[in-house]
Amino acid sequence: MSLEKLANIIFPDIKNTPKYYIEKYAKRKLRDGAKVTRYAPSPTGFQHIGGVFAALVNERLASQSGGVFYLRIEDTDQKREVEGAIEDTIQTMHNFGMDFNEGMTGKETSKGEYGPYRQSQRAEIYNTFAKDLVIKGLAYPCFCTAEELSALREKQTAEKTTPGYYGEYAKCRNLTPEEAIAKIEAGEEYILRLKSQGNTETRVEFHDLIKGDISFPENNQDIVLIKGDGLPTYHFAHAIDDALMGTTHVIRGEEWLSSLPIHVELFKLLGFERPQYAHIPTIMKNDNGSKRKLSKRKDAEAAVSYYKEVGYPAVSVIEYLLNIINSSFEGWREENPTLDYHEFPVHLDKMSKSGALFDIVKLSDISKNVISKMKADVVYDNYITWAKEFDEEMYKLVTANEKISKEIFNIDKEGPKPRKDFAKWDEVKDKIFYFFDELFYKETADQIQLPKTLTLEAAKEVIKVYMDKYNADASSQEEWFEDLKAIGLELGYCGNKKEYKANPDKYKGMISDVAGSVRVALSHRSNTPDIYTIMSILGKDKVKERFEKFLLI
Ligand code: GLU
């Protein structure tokens, strides 16, 4: 009776019982094997690539099984909340090809029968369960001040004992309801703690879908359930929300693994059926030979916005993350070059158990493949969308020259081995700038990149002759090359590598140097797609003009 009195004093407005909510949120009717998963970010405004990684695993497993993937906003730490973060999360996930079946759809809007999907709007639900725990003697108010708690920590450090609020150290645990009531009535501040029933001598056997079989001692910490601001801690909210929302699989970062004993106890004391758990590895970075967590402060690539800014297509990032999730993705992709990645079946048990290494070079390789398979029109559309936001000059140039730009993006695309020029859109300018006079003529002599075997003077000598003699109407690459070769031989260049090696002094160089001269005159670069194609796209007049101006450098 006195526990009930205490509960009523703590929660005077709570009239419902847990039963009300358990009945309100009916068990989901799902087909066999369907998984209900969720993405549960805090609205801090920072989208970490690890969030996309976690969301992707959740989304794939729900979608593959014909289940439900929902968005729950974990905003119980209201100090960290940032305006616009919920909308940004929804938009970001959408850009990465992930849409939610249920949950928040905007700052104040949601869809689905298991809401509210925002924790700050669920206080009454948490309080209902908390009140019930108080009545059952499984939760109690704790009046310890911050000073008392830090004194406790010091004492435990000195005694070299496990830190925390538990057992003999839990001062408020054994207050009688009357004593607690007297403190509340005297205006003392308090929080609500779990009265743990666990014993660290007893071990819990557990099966994690990624980590496999694990075991750990039972929880005995009287963790905080409801904080001073009336909102729950992550632990308490997790147990109640995932139970009432019918989550079948809690797939979350491995940083939560150490809290699992608490969650196991909470599910038990609340009388809930426990979901399955999968703890996904943290994304790590190789930093001078040692592995560390990808850091929001130190690593630009930790922020999702980075990928957009430098211009990795979202699908490249997703394919890269799938590759981390299941290393068999790479082989699958090779065997199925044209299939949509959604066709790839993700398996939790094939996931690496320990820290996943983030490798930007690998991401770029994957992205080059992805872009090389896009049609020129698609490359164009993607590029101008990116450039509009991040490179105004290129946006203007490319859109003003749409036809040529599409031809440029189509170079060597149609064949069986399409060129793999770009990994991200910010690399495009440097690789195609020479098609545009506005950029090409801005270059100074020191920016010209000559092949190792060629000097600027030698290249000019070639161009001086070539520009008057070459066949501007060659109708194929072969015809163009034969013409170039003939001019080169006349100029004293050698057409045969063996012969050249045997008598290098007899020649000015190889025919490849003649080609290199033409390439450099037209592009200022030693490495470009096929010169004949470049000349065809530039057109006769521009080619002539470039040769003339090259001689003036
Ligand atoms: N809000 C928690 C986080 O962002 C969610 C963890 C979970 O998925 O349960 O880490």
- Residue closest via CA to ligand 1's atom 7 equals 252
Longest dimension (CA), the chain: 110
pLDDT tens per residue across span 175-192: 999 999 999 999 999 999
What residues contact residue 88 under an 8 Å CB cut-off, 6+ apart?
Answer: 45, 47
- Residue closest via CA to ligand 1's atom 4 equals 41
- Residue closest via CA to ligand 1's atom 8 equals 252
Residue type, 488: G
Regarding the beta carbon of 275 and ligand 1, being less than 6 Å apart is answered no
User: If you measure from the C-alpha of residue 227 to the centroid of ligand 1, how many angstroms do you get, rounded to a whole number?
Assistant: 18
What residues contact residue 231 under an 8 Å CB cut-off, 6+ apart?
Answer: 76, 78, 119, 120, 123, 126
Instruction: For residue 38, give the ligand 1 atom closest to its CA.
Output: 8
C-alpha span between 66 and 64 (Å, rounded): 6
Regarding the beta carbon of 519 and ligand 1, being less than 6 Å apart is answered no
Contact 5, 226 (CB under 8 A): no
Regarding the beta carbon of 177 and ligand 1, being less than 6 Å apart is answered no
Regarding the beta carbon of 41 and ligand 1, being less than 6 Å apart is answered yes
- Give the burial string for 219-248 (b: 16+ CB within 10 Å, else e): bbbbbbbbeeeebbbbbbbbbbbbbbbbbb
What residues contact residue 548 under an 8 Å CB cut-off, 6+ apart?
Answer: 467
Is the pLDDT at 526 greater than 80? The verdict is: yes
3-class secondary structure for 73-104? ECCCCHHHCCCCHHHHHHHHHHHCCCCCCEEE
What's residue 301's pLDDT?
94
pLDDT tens per residue across span 133-183: 999 999 999 999 999 999 999 999 999 999 999 999 999 999 999 999 999
C-alpha span between 355 and 349 (Å, rounded): 15
- 296 marked as binding residue: yes
Which run of H or of E encompasses 287?
strand 283-287
pLDDT tens per residue across span 8-20: 999 999 999 999 9
Q: Which residue has the tokens 């946006």?
A: 395
Pocket test for ligand 1, best of 78, 89, 117, 252 (most atoms within 8 A of CB): 252
What residues contact residue 51 under an 8 Å CB cut-off, 6+ apart?
Answer: 39, 41, 304
Contact 402, 428 (CB under 8 A): no
* Phi and psi at residue 295, to the nearest 5°: -105, 135
Q: Stretch 258-285: mean pLDDT, rounded?
A: 97
User: If you measure from the C-alpha of residue 461 to the centroid of ligand 1, how many angstroms do you get, rounded to a whole number?
Assistant: 67
Structure tokens at 49: 């690539």
- Give the other-Cβ count within 10 Å of 47's Cβ: 22
Regarding the beta carbon of 254 and ligand 1, being less than 6 Å apart is answered no
C-alpha span between 348 and 241 (Å, rounded): 23
Q: Which residue has the tokens 């190789």?
A: 286
Is the pLDDT at 196 greater than 70? The verdict is: yes
By CB atoms closer than 10 A (0-12, 13-18, 19+), residue 207 is exposed
C-alpha span between 168 and 546 (Å, rounded): 86
pLDDT tens per residue across span 13-56: 999 999 999 999 999 999 999 999 999 999 998 899 999 999 99
What's residue 93's pLDDT?
97
Nearest to 256 by CA among 284, 287, 278: 278
Local structure of residue 102 (DSSP, 8 states): E
User: If you measure from the C-alpha of residue 40 to the centroid of ligand 1, how many angstroms do you get, rounded to a whole number?
Assistant: 5
- Residue 508 has, within 13 A of its CA and on its CB side, a CA count of 19
- Residue closest via CA to ligand 1's atom 9 equals 252
C-alpha span between 546 and 535 (Å, rounded): 11
What's residue 505's pLDDT?
93
Identify the bridge partners of residue 213 per DSSP, sorted by sequence position.
207
Nearest to 38 by CA among 203, 201, 200, 278: 278
Nearest to 272 by CA among 284, 263, 260: 263
Structure tokens at 365: 């390789």
Regarding the beta carbon of 462 and ligand 1, being less than 6 Å apart is answered no
- Give the other-Cβ count within 10 Å of 366's Cβ: 25
